[in-house]
Structure 1
Amino acid sequence: MTDPVRLDKWLWAARFFKTRSLAQQAIRGGKIELNGDKPKASRLVRAQDRLRISKGEWLIEVDVIEVGEKRVSAPLARQMYQETEDSRQRREAVQAQRAAEHTRSGDPGKRPDKHSRRALRRIHRGD
């Protein structure tokens, strides 16, 4: 069995945060729960612990499978935890909702073509 690792190091190594500093800020801000408690950054993470990570509109719940304090590639990092079924379903529902909103709104970043630009000019001039 591997030794337990600091929570901030594990969050960084498992690629939930880009830096340990960002992981520490999230922990201090109450965005991370470890087994239902609000931990400190120095709290030790062990296998079979459950983490609840709140990042923006995402709420991710994972079970720790493996601990490590070295940052690894994304495929290896995904092997360090397993997302719970409820969390996965919530995440997929949010993704589907965002995709539906995006298709409804069109593409606001698209520049108008030549015909549309001329029509806009006519509107602005009052023709």
Structure 2
Amino acid sequence: MTEKELPDGSRQRIDKWLFFARIVKSRSLAQSLVAAGAVTVNGEICSQSSRTIKPGDRIELVLERRDVILVVRADGHRRGPFEEAKLLYDDLTPSPDKQTRLTPFERAQRGLGAGRFGGPDR
């Protein structure tokens, strides 16, 4: 059975689905995310990118700047435009807090105006 002949409600690899849903830019990045333990499916840490998912599964991702909670609605058949990709999932991610979480690199950087004194600051 080819990829285009997949019946509705069938299973699909997690790395392929993340790529088709436009959550990551490539399948290799999706595989790296899974290998790092940043993906959970139905509350269980996903350790293999070959793990299959089906509609109704809950996927939680820990990304660099935010955490994402998705519920699979359909299998992907191709990496299409964003409008097509967002039909593959329901986004249950809570609204971001007023104060966003900074990465360690951003915390280490100096703020604007911090550092040496200039003319009027002396």
TM-score scaled to structure 1, two decimals?
A: 0.69
Alignment RMSD: 2.4
The match for 2:18 is 11
Which structure has the bigger radius of gyration? 1
- Name the SS of the counterpart of 1:76 in structure 2: helix
Relative to structure 1, the CA distance from residue 20 to residue 7 in structure 2 (aligned partners, 3 Å threshold; closer, same or farther) is same
Dislocated runs of 4+, deviation >6 Å: none
Instruction: Name stretches of at least 5 consecutive residues in structure 1 with no aligned partner.
Output: 99-106, 110-118
Q: In structure 1, what is the Cα distance between the partners aligned to 2:120 and 2:49?
A: 60
Relative to structure 1, the CA distance from residue 58 to residue 122 in structure 2 (aligned partners, 3 Å threshold; closer, same or farther) is closer
TM-score scaled to structure 2, two decimals?
A: 0.72
Following superposition, the deviation at residue 67 of structure 1 comes to 1.0
Instruction: Name stretches of at least 5 consecutive residues in structure 2 with no aligned partner.
Output: 1-7, 101-110
Following superposition, the deviation at residue 88 of structure 1 comes to 2.3
Equivalent pair of 1:47/1:67 in contact (CA under 8 Å): yes
The match for 1:88 is 94
Identical aligned residues as a percent: 27
The match for 1:60 is 68
The match for 1:38 is 45
Number of matched residues?
101
